[in-house]
Structure 1
Amino acid sequence: MTRSFSLLALVLAGCVAAPYPDTAPSAALRSAVQVASNGDVESFYGVPTSLTVSGLKRLPYNVVTGQKMGEGERETFYIITGVQGVEVKVVFYDNGKLYLAQTESSNAVGPRGVGVGSSLSQVKAAWPNGKLLYGSEDGRFVTFDTGTNLLYNFDESDMPPAAFDHPPREVTVPDLRVKRIRVFAP
């Protein structure tokens, strides 16, 4: 009896430990980032782009409220610890609808396998029709626009200073690393 129980336990342990196709990284990514047929992100680490302020309490994730001063007013934001522990900061319009969801979590990966820490060359390869934008209107920015509701931000300090001259000058852009992934509500 003990021998058959031990054999059964080994077989069951082997079945449980065996890798299933559903647990492959691509399956995990599919559940973390859902994309519509038009290429727009519909859900980002458990945060739907249709989220409203009142819908925050229905999320199955930890939500922390924060505030900061912005453009002369106090702005409220929320940090949601979503799927795979990715922290997603969300901001809402005054009407309660989602404005944007963004993350700087090092384990965050967006559509097409491009995530925080990916290189600009990887972003361009994944989004060949996208555009790199940089400048200093309303503060310095370096952003890759994918042509969808998804943007990749880079650290401005990694750019040559001439990129932010007035008038703007074309510069040789280094192979920057993604600092932040931003998703805007469609």
Structure 2
Amino acid sequence: MAENAAFVAGDAAAAAGPVVLRAPTVDDLTALSVLGIAAFVHKFGDLYRPQDLLPFLMETYTEAALAPEIADPAKLYRVAEQDGVLVGWCKVGLTCGFPDHARGNRVMELKQLYTAPRATGQGLGRQLMDWAMSEFAARGADEVQISVWSGNPGAQRFYQRYGFAKVADISFRVGSQLDDEFLFARML
């Protein structure tokens, strides 16, 4: 676990072996927590005041917060592991996250797709996204939604390559701060 934490925090060299996608276990909770915090802070940390960011991270990415999440049958997780080190994860919601904007009858949601900060750009996002899209299809989704920060054009381009397009303006709360987000969706 300490090795996972060091890599996720960006203190280790990039791993070299093949990426293995698998379901997480309770033994992964520490690494999931460290990765979630590292990925969120790396990408978005400078957007928030500490008094907003810290409670959000504790409510969202601690082991105590993640344990019921990975056990929830309405959510699917897949972790990406390389050389025994957690380098990414994806979370799928089997229910509609934004029903006011749903166009389909069986709408599901891509809730999170994270890679370790030093592992970005190595194709991990594509592998995790391919897994998520196959899960949506296998479970009969007719629409997939994802919330994307309005100031993240890289993520927007990534999802557009998968056929997603903006369907609504929404918001995302971190503490007292309300961020402008775009709801992207794709019919299947």
Which bracket does the TM-score occupy, shorter chain normalised? Answer: under 0.3
> Which structure would you say has the larger RCO, counting Cα contacts within 8 Å and 6 or more residues apart?
2
With the length of structure 2 as denominator, give the TM-score of the two structures: 0.25
With the length of structure 1 as denominator, give the TM-score of the two structures: 0.25
- Please say which structure displays the higher CA radius of gyration: 1
